[in-house]
Structure 1
Amino acid sequence: MNIANPTVATLPVSDLPPGRSSDKFRMLDGVRVLDLTTSIAGPYSTMLLADFGADVVKVERPGGDDARHWGPPFLDGESLWFLSVNRNKKSVRLDFSGPEGREVLAGLLDKADVLVTNQLPSVQRKFGLDAQTARATRPGLVHVSLTGFGLDGPYAARPCYDLIAEGYSSVMDLTGPAASAPQKVGSPAADMLAGADAALATLAALNRRAATGQGCAIDVALAESMIRFMSPRIVPYLGSGEVPRRSGGTDSVIAIYQTFETADLPMTLGLGNDAIWKRFWEAVGDPQGAEGADVATNAARRTNRARIVERIQSILIGRPRAEWLERLEKARVPAGPIYRVDEVVQDHHFRERETFFQIAQDGRQIPQVSLGIHIDGEAAGYVSAPPRLGQHSETVLRDLLGYDPEKIETLRRSGVI
């Protein structure tokens, strides 16, 4: 198979099981979310809510969500990045720059329990979508703002993407080998973390609203979500003054916790406490390797890290990875492979856990990564495929706002929808 340019018949998605839905995840039934976000962080946040049963109405400007244009790769002309974070939603194409579109948007907002936007504070105010304006007549509304730096502070007006937030957070400075340039995380980490934070905060707000009837204004910043992710590095610096440095696949505190080469493929090894340290040396057939004051504690092992790593490497290089992983699993020593993307999707454990699935839509197969949460023994699955741009415009305006066919057609002819 030509991996660089596979045919449709050999696409990896064709090997995935069909997705299915589970009523056990309909915990947010009755909650309506108005999603005005684009790119990754906001859409990921609303997809999480949709995965738990919320009715998400995704409002897109005439050109569509920015992520619809991110590619290649594309699937039948649609960005696979977009398809990765937009399942279980309805799409309404709406130009709300003029009064007719604003009227439609106001109607949708009146029907919403939650508003999620990733517009800069000035843009929110321009369209009356800031929390103060939107909640003035809707005290029960949960207003969620997802921006790069938050709604206030010196950087509030700055545009931001995942890359920018990662740079501010220090994660890039600490990622990669010691002698290398700073490196970005291999996934849009700030986007995904901030999206998860926004969904978590929304759930907490909805819980309180159920008791009090009051909504609130939630302010999530990509940079701050990423900074919180770095707290196991930042807090030790604040308490010690020791600035951590890039160390590649090696943890600077835990010894030994890093990557190693074997006779064929690289692997990870985490000797995170004294008991695991001893079990490791028994597993490799050298129980004496765990003995001595110079290796008895993590602090001692950290001091003598270079010598210990050299010794472990000289042992592991002698046998293939699969053999070491089998031995270490039996000894209850944390270790694992370093997968490529194509390898992780083939792993039988994650296949059995329904981590990957496909959605059939209009004769095509849309690949998906599951919510990754199981409830009462069931994986989440899906309800509907990621929507085409404006796919549900007529349905939403008719069923949710009560617009008649003539009004809908007028809006369509004028380019509002």
Structure 2
Amino acid sequence: MSARASRPAGPAGGPLAGLKVIDLTAVLMGPYATQMLGDMGADVIKIEAPGGDVVRLIGPSRNEGMGPVFLNANRSKRSVELDLKNAEGRRVLLRLAEDADILVYNIRPQAMARLGLDYASLREVNPGLIYAGVFGYGQDGPYAAMPAYDDLIQGACTLAAMVGQSRGEAPGYVPLAMVDRITGMAAVNAVLAALHERQRSGQGQRIDVPMFETMVAFVLSDHLAGLSFDPPLDAGGYARLLSPARRPYRTRDGHLCALVYTDKQWRSFYRLLGREAELDADPRMASLATRSEHIDEIYAELERTLASRTTAQWLALFRAADIPATPVHDLQSIFDDPHLCETGFFGREVHPTEGPLRTLRHPSQWSRTQPESHRAAPRLGEHGEEVLREAGYAAEEIERLVRAGVLGGTHHEKGEHVGL
């Protein structure tokens, strides 16, 4: 076998430039995590099963397999279509992992073991590998082998019940794959911490990031409340967050989000209304604690008051008084938000196959090593031949893998491998 080529660089100066990530994830949770690593400069090699990541098919698209959910969770990556159920496909994966820094997967650990890609197998070929799994449940309990999706975990972690409670309705879901994204961010945090530890120890390690436990900790940090104490001081729940009146308020011509929260803000609000004497006379308004005890009544009164003027009038008044408020955007008006327009949050790119696309800027701002997208979301198997060449595979070996159906995304035509 030929010597390996040096690793391709991510964006110049990217904070994770020089790191190699094997991405064995699909749908959203894992791809969201690895996209963040890619935006930060890591070389992310996305291994897709034959036929590709199913999320390629979600939403409207110009070309089959390049839907918007896929495009927005898989930039800054290279795609290799590889049959890991084939023994040769497994050997290819192990070879790619020999000099990798991180491997992220989001199928159940039991499936990884059946593929011969459990941590023990990967550690044997690369003791320094950070092996991170994002899946449904911790592996030390009775749910270990159960499947999980965002909706299920929203219900299991008490979130769906509290959404219903706050609306006075049956349990409901948040209209966002928030469990996937929160767990994905937790995985990035864990991986980066493990990389730091590896600098001291020189050793890799296995990290499990389960959706259920991650979300229980996330939700109950707000809502454990009096259940934090033994014996409990109440039945749990953060009253303000659960108030049915905590919602965008109707104004004379639309809706407005406003949060009058601190003592200073409430005084400023009553001053705007010319009713400061009422504030001083109302025992409910004496402190954050007393307001919390009467939050439903207070929010209901706020709602009635805000209905008396237009959204623009209230925004002007609130901003002059330094009271937090914002309009309620929808999927059309968000693109005209003056702050996002001024900061250039929404950009444009021309994808090699999908044409003009709207892009979302990396939200954090860095003084030197700014993360950014450095690769358009890949076509299925677009980089298979390229990645295998870098791993030391000769042209005839790659051709054999293609002919055997182990490596997809390329076809043999007139003696050349051509990306589809």
TM-score (norm 2): 0.87
Change (3 A) 1:313 1:120: closer
Give the counterpart of 1:202 among 183, 188, 191. Answer: 191
- The match for 1:6 is none
Structure 2 counterpart of 1:388, from 376, 379, 382 = 379
Pair 103,305 (structure 1): closer, same or farther in 2 beyond 3 Å: closer
Instruction: Summarize the alignment of residues 192-341 of structure 1 with structure 2, pairs less than 5 Å apart.
Output: 192-230=181-219, 231-239=221-229, 240-243=232-235, 251-252=241-242, 258-292=247-281, 293-341=283-331
| Partner in structure 1 of residue 136 of structure 2 | 148
Q: Which amino acid aligns with 1:44?
A: Y
The 5 A counterparts of 1:14-413 are 23-24=12-13, 26-70=14-58, 72-77=59-64, 78-176=66-164, 177-230=166-219, 231-239=221-229, 240-243=232-235, 251-252=241-242, 258-292=247-281, 293-362=283-352, 364-376=355-367, 380-399=371-390, 401-413=391-403
Equivalent pair of 1:257/1:269 in contact (CA under 8 Å) = no
Distance in 2 (alpha carbons) for counterparts of 1:303 and 1:369: 41
- CA shift at 1:256, angstroms? 8.9
Structure 1 residues 133 and 337: alpha-carbon distance in aligned structure 2, compared to 1, 3 A threshold: same
Residues 174, 246 of structure 1: 8 Å contact kept: no
CA distance in 2, matches of 1:173, 1:129: 38
Which stretches in structure 2 are left out of the alignment for 5+ residues?
1-9, 408-420
Q: Is residue 225–residue 237 contact of structure 2 (8 Å, CA) maintained in 1?
A: no
* TM-score, scaled relative to structure 1: 0.87
The Cα offsets for residues 289-311 of structure 1, whole Å up to 9 and x where unpaired, read as 42122321123223444443343
Asked if the contact 2:45–2:78 (Cα under 8 Å) also holds between the matched residues in 1, the reply is yes
Equivalent residue of 1:33, what SS? Answer: strand
Query: For the residues of structure 1 that align with 2:228 and 2:293, how far apart are their CA atoms?
Result: 22
Q: Please tell me whether the aligned partners of residues 22 and 378 of structure 1 are also in contact (alpha carbons under 8 angstroms).
A: no
1:62-101 deviations in Å (ceiling 9; x for gaps): 111121122x322432221111110000000101212221
**Is the 8 Å Cα contact of residues 36 and 118 (structure 1) preserved in structure 2?**
yes
For 2:311 and 2:236, locate their aligned partners in 1 and report how far apart those are by CA, in whole Å. 30
Deviates more, 1:208-217 or 1:31-40: 208-217
- State how far apart, in whole Å, the 1-side matches of 2:398 and 2:254 are: 60
* Distance change >3 Å, CA 235–CA 313, structure 1 → 2: closer
Q: Does the Cα contact within 8 Å between 1:353 and 1:379 map onto a contact in 2?
A: no
Assess if the C-alpha contact under 8 Å between 1:256 and 1:269 holds in 2.
no
Distance in 1, Cα, partners of 2:273 & 2:368: 37
In 1: Cα distance, 2:388 partner to 2:201 partner: 30
Q: Which moved more, 1:260-269 or 1:368-377?
A: 368-377
The 3 A distance-change label for structure 1 pair 246 and 259 is farther
Q: How many residues align?
A: 391
Q: In the aligned structure 2, how far is the partner of 1:284 from the partner of 1:244?
A: 35
SS across alignment from 1:74: coil
1:382-414 superposed Cα distances (whole Å, 9 cap, x missing partner): 101010100000100112x12122111111111
What amino acid is aligned across from residue 105 of structure 1 in structure 2? L
Deviates more, 1:212-221 or 1:384-393: 212-221
Q: Which runs of 4+ in 1 moved over 6 A?
A: none
Alpha-carbon displacement from aligned partner over 1:15-57 (angstroms, at most 9, x marks no partner): xxxxxx9745x11111100000111010011011111100000
Whether the aligned pair in 2 keeps the contact of 1:256 and 1:272 (CA below 8 Å) is: no
Report the 3-state secondary structure (helix = DSSP H, G, I; strand = E; otherwise coil) of the residue aligned with 1:172: helix
Of residues 374-383 and 55-64 in structure 1, the stretch that sits farther from structure 2 once superposed is 374-383
Distance 1:212 1:302, change over 3 A: closer
Q: Equivalents in 2 of 1:148, 1:310: separation in Å?
A: 39
- RMSD over aligned Cα atoms: 2.3
2:124 aligns to what SS in structure 1? Answer: coil
Structure 1 residue 275, shift from structure 2 partner: 1.4
| 2:33–2:185 contact (8 Å) kept in structure 1 | yes
For the Cα contact (< 8 Å) 1:45–1:195, is it kept in 2?
yes
What is the letter of the counterpart of residue 369 of structure 1? L
